Amino acid sequence: MIDVEDLIALVRNYNPRTNSELIRKAYAYGLKMHEGQFRHSGEPYFTHPVAVAAILTEQRLDDATIITALLHDTIEDTRSTYTEVSEMFGAEIAELVDGVTKLTNLQLSSNASKQAENFRKLFMAMSKDLRVILVKLADRLHNMRTIKSMRVEKQAQKARETMEIFAPLAGRMGMQWMREELEDLSFKVLNPEARTSIIRRFVSLQKESGDVIPKITHDIRHLLEESQIDADVFGRAKRPYSIWRKMEEKQLAFSRLSDIYGFRVITASEMDCYRVLGLIHRRWRAVPGRFKDYISQPKTNGYRSIHTTVSGRDGKRVEVQIRTRQMHEVAEAGVAAHWSYRDGQRAANPFAVDPAKWLNSLTERFAEGDHDEFLENVKLEMYSDQVFCFTPKGDVIKLPKGATPIDFAYAIHTRIGNSCVGAKVDGIRVPLWTRLKNGQSVEVITAAGQRPQPTWLDIVATGRAKGAIRKSLREEDRSRFVKLGAELARVAFEHVGRKVTDKALRTAAKTLGLPDDIELLARLGSAELTAREVLESLYPELIARGADTIEPTRAVIGLGADQSFRRASCCQPLPGERIVGITYRGQGVVIHAIDCPALEEFEEQPDRWVDLHWQPGQHPPVYSASLKLTISNDAGVLGHICTLIGQQKANISDLQFMDRKPDFYSLMVEVEMRDVEHLHTLLTALEAETDVAQVQRWRDLARKP
């Protein structure tokens, strides 16, 4: 375990003005609180918080963050309290420790829905103070470095969680070194055979050709010395997971894989970066399509560098990154560079981004979405690479790899995206699903009255576009539901001899506890409310008077005096059809149509079968049946179909759109029928309509009875 004085010395290396007494106090407090606690490896538990603090000193972080690392598990795992930490170390540190504790309690590897909700909470915690996630990332890094002491199943769970969430998050924050190490440590757990294979092949390659890193490093240094450019040159082999990912993505064998070596040239000025680039391209042949200038077009997390790939010594491809020392500091620390210290002062690095603005850019677009949508969009943002395209005026638009003209339109303005009907790329008209490439000029064509289409969700690649499209579709759906609800209300009121009025709807809304008549119509159109419920709220006596002679509770003959029944949801039997009952302990009798395939599983259980038949006579229209319709996508067609169903004395209890195409709608309609004859009459009336392409009774045999 690192001694407290050694830890203070690490901090003093970049911050001579550090509050060493407060660090000593925190070290002693943490040691006392964790006394008697041990890690899975058998080491004293406090070795872990100290190691986390040491990792954070590598990023030259402030005293508050270092002390938070020392105390980050005290509130959760010891008798320490928020109040005590606040009194001893101040409100700032107490808030940070509490924030890390809340992050630790999030079960990020749970099911998808819960994970989405927790991901949102993670980002909300980050939004208060980004140093919370810096401590958490360092905590995860040390845990992954020492993961072998955990149970095998726990190792796999933590490795998957790290690969899916923490590694890409570190990368998105600009801490690429941490991302690479977290990925490789996870890879070692999840696929040890593949990682070992990569390492063996790499060792074999070195035996065949020698260690090329010092050779190429020498070549680059010699080139710079000849031109009198002051710069540092570093070379390294890429990590096994990075090599494995390239092999998987490009479907290449290791022997055919190029650029497994990477080199960095750290210069004194931006001008020298471009001079070095020119020298390298004159000395070695540049690989087409492998040049990126992140100095003129920096990433949102502040990353600046020139990337190029060249065919170096012996024809081996090598990647070269060229940047200034200040750019390198941000490249190593990412967003954390905002808190970096040098000589006791907050480092005034011009390339360090404001964490609040960075986080806001990542989360502001998802404030109104649901949890699953938020998770989808954040993952899109974190995993994306970037392409840079230009407007006709020359403005630069940053987009993730795979973006389309629709993404480009929404990146300009939501209004432009919503009204997009076409696009020109480099002056040529292209389909909206075209994937954009670096350097292309894009012109968006708009038209008044155009609205986003549901199919756009499968085309776009940015969270901003997906969120805007979904919002527009929700608004459009509400408008459509209000129109449909108005039609359903009109038919239902006519059915009982009344005329629908605004006053009647407002009264019904008030009775049902809804804010206004528009909300009532919207719920009626979306099947959250039935027309029968609306009528009962206004005219209960008419509904009661309209009830037929047979009570639904006495509709079936053959049941015992104490037996209740319900219709099977798989076959939805109607009066007039042959039926049989199956008994369920504690659930009464479930009625199936005699030809229902679900009955096959009860063939060996004859004692559960009950011989039943429907009560003869007039049944009330309360038995639901599902109809699958395909209708024309023209104005007024849906309303006309609803009217037709009402004219056949059937109520619509639910309506769902299954598929929406430019020319046809496919929908599922749940209608309340009297009996099978009533159903056949309705089907005949619908089949006769020219706007109905197809109609059939739908029995969902996959449903449980």
- DSSP string for 642-695: HHHHHHTT-EEEEEEEEEE-SSEEEEEEEEEESSHHHHHHHHHHHHT-TTEEEE
What mean pLDDT comes out for the span 558-578? 87
Check whether 183 has a pLDDT greater than 70: yes
Q: Between these two residues, 140 and 654, which has the higher pLDDT value?
A: 140
Please tell me which of 373-387, 515-529, 645-659, 683-697 the model is most confident about, judged by mean pLDDT.
683-697
595-613: per-residue pLDDT in tens? 888 888 888 888 888 889 8
pLDDT at 128 over 80: no
- What band does 117 get if pLDDT is binned at 50, 70 and 90? low
| C-alpha separations of 604 from 491, 586, 597, 688 in Å | 48, 21, 14, 44
Q: In this structure, how many other beta carbons lie within 10 angstroms of the beta carbon of residue 391?
A: 15
pLDDT number for residue 26:
94
- Reply yes or no on whether the pLDDT at 220 is more than 80: yes
Residue 510 binned pLDDT confidence (cut-offs 50, 70, 90): confident
pTM over 0.75: no
Residues in Cβ contact with 652 at an 8 Å cutoff, skipping those fewer than 6 apart: 488, 527, 530, 531, 642, 645, 646, 669, 670, 671, 672
The pLDDT > 70 percentage for the chain reads: 83
What is the average pLDDT score of the chain? 82
Whether residue 101 is predicted with pLDDT greater than 60 in this model: the reply is: yes
Q: Does domain 548-705 have CATH number 3.30.360.10?
A: no
Average pLDDT value for residue range 531-547? 70
**Residue, of 651 and 136, whose pLDDT is higher:** 136
Residue 121's alpha-carbon distances to 115, 127, 167, in angstroms, are 10, 10, 18
Please check the confidence at residue 79 and state whether its pLDDT lies above 70.
Answer: yes
The superfamily in CATH containing domain 197-328 is: Beta Polymerase, domain 2 (3.30.460.10)
CB proximity list for 261: less than 8 A, separation 6 or greater: 212, 213, 216, 235, 236, 237, 238, 316, 318, 319
d(CA 103, CA 606): 56
Residues 424, 456: Cα–Cα separation, whole Å: 17
Q: Which contiguous run of DSSP H or E holds residue 460?
A: none
- Model confidence band, residue 129 (pLDDT cutoffs 50, 70, 90): confident
Residue of 5, 35, 63, 77 with catalytic role: 77
Q: How far apart are CA 17 and CA 342, in angstroms?
A: 10
Domain 197-328 shares a fold with domain 548-705: no
Q: Which two tokens stand for residue 52?
A: 């986390």
Bigger pLDDT: 344 vs 553: 553
pLDDT at 34 over 60: yes
Of 33-37, 71-75, 370-374, 389-393, least confident by mean pLDDT is 370-374
281 vs 271: CA distance, rounded Å: 16
Task: Average the pLDDT over 534-546 and give the result.
Answer: 69
Band of residue 266 on the pLDDT scale cut at 50, 70, 90: very high
Residue 545 has pLDDT above 60, yes or no: no
Whole-angstrom Cα distance, residue 54 to residue 17? 18
Among the listed ranges 16-20, 386-390, 509-513, 515-519, which one has the minimum average pLDDT value?
386-390
- Reduced to 3 states (helix: H, G, I; strand: E, B; else coil), residue 584 is strand
Query: Does position 341 have pLDDT exceeding 60, yes or no?
Result: yes
- Regarding the domain delimited by 4-190, which CATH topology (the fold level of the hierarchy) does it fall under? Hypothetical protein af1432 (1.10.3210)
Q: How confident is the model at residue 547 (pLDDT cuts 50, 70, 90)?
A: very low
**Per-residue pLDDT tens digits for 462-506:** 878 888 888 887 777 777 778 878 877 887 787 777 888 888 898
Check pLDDT > 60 for residue 380: no
The answer, yes or no, to whether residue 548 has pLDDT greater than 50, is no
Give residue 616's identity as a one-letter amino acid code: P
Percent of the chain with pLDDT over 90: 26
CB 505 within 8 A of CB 521: yes
- CB of 162 closer than 8 Å to CB of 186: yes
pLDDT of 208 over the 70 cut: no
Residue 390: per-residue pLDDT:
84
Task: Return the pLDDT at 546.
Answer: 47
pLDDT band at 141 (very low <50, low <70, confident <90, very high): very high
What pLDDT score does 354 carry?
A: 67
Poorest-pLDDT segment among 32-46, 139-153, 325-339, 574-588: 325-339
Residue among 614, 616, 572, 615 at smallest CA distance from 590? 572
Q: What's the CATH code, domain 384-461? A: 3.10.20.30
Q: Domain locations in the chain?
A: 4-190, 197-328, 384-461, 470-546, 548-705
CA nearest neighbour of 287 among 326, 259, 261: 259
Q: Which of the residue ranges 261-265, 407-411, 542-546, 551-555 has the most confident prediction, judged by mean pLDDT? A: 407-411
| Choice among 76, 164, 494, 536 that is catalytic | 76
**Does 607 or 553 have the greater pLDDT score?**
607
Q: Which long-range contacts (CB under 8 A, 24 or more apart) does 251-260 make?
A: 254/198, 254/201, 258/309, 258/316, 258/317, 259/290, 259/309, 259/317, 259/318, 259/319, 260/202
Task: Decide if 76 is catalytic.
Answer: yes
> How does DSSP assign 298-322, residue by residue?
--TT----EEEEEE-GGG-EEEEEE
Question: Which pLDDT score is estimated for 118?
Answer: 54
Residue 15 tokens read as 């911050």
User: What's the pLDDT band for 691 if we cut at 50, 70, 90?
Assistant: confident
pLDDT at residue 242 above 70? Answer: yes
Q: Decide if pLDDT at 540 tops 80.
A: no
**Are 556 and 591 contacting, i.e. CB atoms less than 8 angstroms apart?**
yes
Beta bridge partners of 320: 263, 308
Q: Is 533 a catalytic residue?
A: no
Question: What was the pLDDT predicted at 46?
Answer: 93
